[in-house]
């Protein structure tokens, strides 16, 4: 199955599934979606490899993600976090190396540090 994200004002508004028979290419998928009466900008996204026609889309699109014309970017989790060159949000300080399922941490925006839970 092919997945397409509807983009409104640079944000993902919804993600729909189109059968591969109707979307053997991204262009075909967009044409099929338009034939159903769905207007607007549609961009293909993928669970499998996050790449369409050899171009990375960064991640699978989710509602609320930003589409910058090249990749999908998750919403900023905290005001202090910054976007890196790979379009991933990074905290001001790295997560502790001992963080795990058995030893969880959470980010404290107020204290600007990782706090053991």
Nearest alpha carbon to residue 3 among 75, 22, 68 = 22
pLDDT of amino acid 54? 58
pLDDT at 48: 74
At residue 24 the predicted structure's pLDDT band, cuts being 50, 70 and 90, is very high
> Residue 87's pLDDT is what?
93
Express each pLDDT in 31-70 by its tens digit: 999 999 999 999 999 887 666 665 678 899 999 999 999 9
Which pTM value belongs to this model?
0.84
If you write DSSP's letter for every residue of 25-55 in order, what string do you get?
Answer: SHHHHHHHHHHTT--SEEEEE-SSSSEETTE
Give 107's strand partners.
Answer: 114
pLDDT at 58: 85
51-55, 84-88, 102-106: least confidently modelled range = 51-55
């Amino acid at each position: 199955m092919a997945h397409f994200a509807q983009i409104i004002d640079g944000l993902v508004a919804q993600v729909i599934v189109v059968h591969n028979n109707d979307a053997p290419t991204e262009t075909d998928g967009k044409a099929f979606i338009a034939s159903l009466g769905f207007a607007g900008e549609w961009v293909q996204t993928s669970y499998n490899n996050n790449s369409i026609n050899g171009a990375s889309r960064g991640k699978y699109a989710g509602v609320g993600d930003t589409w910058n014309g090249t990749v999908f970017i998750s919403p900023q989790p905290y005001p202090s976090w910054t976007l890196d060159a790979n379009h991933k949000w990074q905290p001001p300080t790295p997560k502790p190396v001992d963080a795990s399922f058995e030893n969880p941490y959470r980010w404290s925006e107020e204290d600007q540090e990782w706090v053991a839970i």
